[in-house]
Structure 1
Amino acid sequence: MPFAAITYDIKPGYEKELTEIFGNFRRVPSSRVEDASGGQAGTIVATAVFLRDDTLVRVIEYTGDLEAVARHMAAQPGVQEVERKLKPYLTRPRETDTVEGFVATFRRSLLTTVAQISARDVPASA
């Protein structure tokens, strides 16, 4: 399963506040990601958030279409709440108030995948 990582440029020194914002995240009841017609376009398997100094990184493990995953995330109340609460801590504003703005920001913030290795990808007999 692929991973995606997006970055946030933040003000250093707010680790406690940022940890609290993500610690209170309201997870959606289903991992299903739908396309515009309501068909399944993928799933969000897991997420993790990492912080050091002035960089925060959200890692997303997913299946399916990454564009659909970004659109799905943009519509989630918990994601919208996190994006709103992060605004005072950002050094570079993020236009995430609309689905289109969120998806464009997601694309700009996306790190290039250099390598992805998982024990799940190794045949059982190896």
Structure 2
Amino acid sequence: MPYAAITYDIRSGCEDEVAEVFRDFQRPKSTVVPDGEGRPAGRILATAVFIRDATLVRFIEYEGDLDAVARFMAGQPGVREVERRLAPYLNTPRDTGTVDGFVRTFKASMLRCITQFAVPRS
């Protein structure tokens, strides 16, 4: 399965406050990612968030179309709430108030994948 990693430029010294933002994260009701017509375009399999000093990284394991995943995430109440609550702790503001802004920000903050390894799953 492919992975995506997106970064956030966090103010140093705010790690505990940022961790608190993610403590009550609301997962989407469904892992199925729809396309523009509502047909399945992928799935979000897992996410993880890591922080050290001024860098926060969100890892996403997914199937399917990454653009559809980003659009799906843009509309999720839990993701929108996290973006809103993170705003005071950011060194660099993120334009995530609209779906298009979220997708642009998502793409601009992605880390380049160098390699991925996984064991086969049944």
Q: Same fold (TM over 0.5)?
A: yes
SS in 2 for 1:120: coil
CA RMSD of aligned residues (A): 1.1
Name the larger-Rg structure: 1
Q: Alignment length, in residue pairs? A: 122
1:38-75 per-residue CA deviation (whole Å, 9 max, x = no partner) reads 00000000000000010000000000000000000000
Identity %: 58
Alignment-derived partner of residue 112 in structure 1 = 112
Runs of 4+ with >3 A deviation: none
Report matched runs for 1:9-48 at 5 Å: 9-48=9-48
TM-score, with structure 2 as normaliser:
0.97
Alignment-derived partner of residue 56 in structure 1 = 56
CA distance in 2 between partners of 1:53 and 1:44 (Å): 27
- Residue segments in structure 1 that go unaligned for 5+ positions in a row: none
- Per-residue deviation, 1:87: 0.3
TM-score, with structure 1 as normaliser:
0.94
SS in 2 for 1:110: coil
Report matched runs for 1:86-125 at 5 Å: 86-120=86-120
SS in 1 for 2:120: helix
- Residue segments in structure 2 that go unaligned for 5+ positions in a row: none
Letter in 1 for 2:30: S
CA distance in 1 between partners of 2:83 and 2:55 (Å): 15
